[in-house]
Structure 1
Amino acid sequence: MNREQISRIAHTDHPIKSPLHDASVRRLLESGLPRGDERVLDLGCGSGEWLLRALAARPHLRAEGVDVSADALAQARQSARDRGVEDRLVLHHQEAEDFAAAQPFNLVISVGATHAFGGLLPTLAAAREHLAPGGRVLIGEGFWDRPPYQEAIDMLGDFTDLATTVDRVVADGWTPIRGHVSTRREMDDYEWACWGSLASWALDHPAEPDSSRALAASTTHRTEWLRVYRDTWGFVSLVLRQTPDHR
């Protein structure tokens, strides 16, 4: 069982692959889509859940997603058909950093996917390349809520604290117009959902060849969360506009 398969099963009950409740997702999308007829791009869209929710809520919206996972994109296509929005969604199977669009977008999304570009600021640079004048960016990034263990840094990445994260975004030429710091409940609900879903799959499919590996992975990830990063790691989602005359 590879990492992609583990992720797909783990997110069965939490299709937004970040520690955000549905109400938080809705509010962030509302802030990013003030008109309702925008063109939206998700860089690293995975199974497309952000785009699918935006399309379902905005009947005049059009969206495109980019991801390297053929399986995740196939899941996105099926979900789009199930929700009746497939005619307004275009999906691209390629590296997000290599994607080139014929037209700019009013909203560019990259939530929990900044690793694909090598970090927060490179992700914002990529988003800027696709952004229409007056457009918005919805980005989600981790931060350290308090000094972490070195093991946590090795596991999740070399983040900074929340204030410094926002300072870096502002210094890069962006103005936050909406922000959401995931609550403890959102963080815990996300982790319990992921590793509980994986464990449930393993227990429900004992004859599957990957059952024991899935159960072991669930145990490992749950333990890492509880013992290594639960008390130190946070997650912030920002809706951004470009700062005028930034140099």
Structure 2
Amino acid sequence: MDAYHRHTVTHADHPVAAPLSDRAVAVILDRAVPRDRAVRLLDLGCGEAVWLRRALAARPEATAVGIDLDEPGLAVGRRAAEREGVADRLRLVREDAALHVSDRPAGTVLCVGATHAFGGLLPTLEAAHSHLADGGTVVVGEGFWERQPDAAALTALGCGPDAYDDLPGTVRRVTDAGWVPVYGHVSTAEEWDDYEWSWTGSLARWALDHPDHPSAAEAAATAREHRDAWLGGYRGTLGFLTLTLRPA
């Protein structure tokens, strides 16, 4: 019987674990990671190392390290790196990203959609700075309020209204902390919809295709509950901002 690992299933059709299109990821990487020198990348909360694998595929001199606690996701990343021919330049480590100590600084540090591992946006940036080489760049992805959240959105997300700022407030917090945005991408409604339909659809399809699996009922219920929370709760309220930053 097939093994069940929810994160792998939910991202089968949308490997990037954030509401970002493939084109957006490519543009962000082009702005953040040089192609003309042997840069080192570090991803804190890398999941299946999609960002690192894509960066390495286009930059034959680059090397990368990914940190995550999710061993099944790391295993997926290692197998994919072998298929893609970048495994010799990618090291994936099962470790708490908040506790990671780098053996040498990185030219680009990424943390997209994993700021919770550090307790929020600003602690994430503090941690990223501790791993960053002089003149280096940080890529961070964080939620923000597209509009004032109502009770349905807060219930769906399980948070309070102070969990995020609006877009100007989010950027202001970053700049007040001593960072300079050199690029940014605000996820569109189309990117959000593709991400959420892919997340819930992949999980629902897996449950239908594996009706005898012990986790089938749980998977179907999770897909249904997540879809309801998104459509009836935070759709159009929770935004996502990916910033490319350098220290001031």
Aligned-partner Cα distance in 1 for 2:194–2:15: 12
Among residues 191, 194, 205, which one is paired with 1:200 in the alignment? Answer: 205
CA separation of 1:200 and 1:221: change in aligned 2, threshold 3 A:
same
Q: Please give the residue correspondences for 1:113-124 in structure 2 after superposition, counting only pairs within 5 Å.
A: 113-124=114-125
TM-score normalised by L of structure 1 = 0.94
Which residue number corresponds to residue 136 of structure 1?
Answer: 137
Match of 1:201, SS state, is helix
Tell whether the 8 Å contact from 1:153 to 1:159 is kept in structure 2 after alignment: no
Tell whether the 8 Å contact from 2:19 to 2:191 is kept in structure 1 after alignment: yes
Which residue number corresponds to residue 25 of structure 1?
Answer: 25
Q: CA deviation at 1:156?
A: 5.4
Which residue number corresponds to residue 217 of structure 1?
Answer: 222
Tell whether the 8 Å contact from 1:137 to 1:240 is kept in structure 2 after alignment: yes
Match of 1:137, SS state, is strand
Among residues 179, 182, 190, which one is paired with 2:195 in the alignment? Answer: 190
- Residue type at the aligned position of 1:200: R
Q: What do the CA deviations read for 1:184-211 (whole angstroms, capped 9, x no partner)? A: 1001110001100000111111121211
- Residue type at the aligned position of 1:231: G
Aligned-partner Cα distance in 2 for 1:168–1:203: 44
Q: Please give the residue correspondences for 1:98-109 in structure 2 after superposition, counting only pairs within 5 Å.
A: 98-109=99-110
Which residue number corresponds to residue 40 of structure 1?
Answer: 41
Q: Please give the residue correspondences for 1:127-166 in structure 2 after superposition, counting only pairs within 5 Å.
A: 127-153=128-154, 155=157, 157=159, 158-166=163-171
Aligned-partner Cα distance in 2 for 1:128–1:91: 20
- Residue type at the aligned position of 1:51: L
- Residue type at the aligned position of 1:205: H
Match of 1:238, SS state, is strand
Q: CA deviation at 1:31?
A: 0.4
Aligned-partner Cα distance in 2 for 1:152–1:43: 28
Among residues 181, 194, 197, which one is paired with 1:176 in the alignment? Answer: 181
TM-score normalised by L of structure 2 = 0.94
> Is 1:9 aligned to 2:9, yes or no?
yes
Q: CA deviation at 1:39?
A: 0.4
Q: CA deviation at 1:33?
A: 0.9
Q: CA deviation at 1:76?
A: 1.1
Which residue number corresponds to residue 226 of structure 1?
Answer: 231
Match of 2:182, SS state, is strand
Shifted more, 20-29 versus 200-209: the winner is 200-209
Q: CA deviation at 1:92?
A: 1.4
Alpha carbon RMSD of aligned pairs, Å?
1.2
Which residue number corresponds to residue 235 of structure 1?
Answer: 240
Q: CA deviation at 1:74?
A: 1.1
Instruction: State the 4+ residue runs in structure 1 displaced beyond 4 angstroms.
Output: none
Q: CA deviation at 1:151?
A: 4.6
- Residue type at the aligned position of 1:170: T
Question: How many residues end up aligned between the 2 structures?
Answer: 240
Tell whether the 8 Å contact from 2:154 to 2:233 is kept in structure 1 after alignment: no
Shifted more, 132-141 versus 36-45: the winner is 36-45
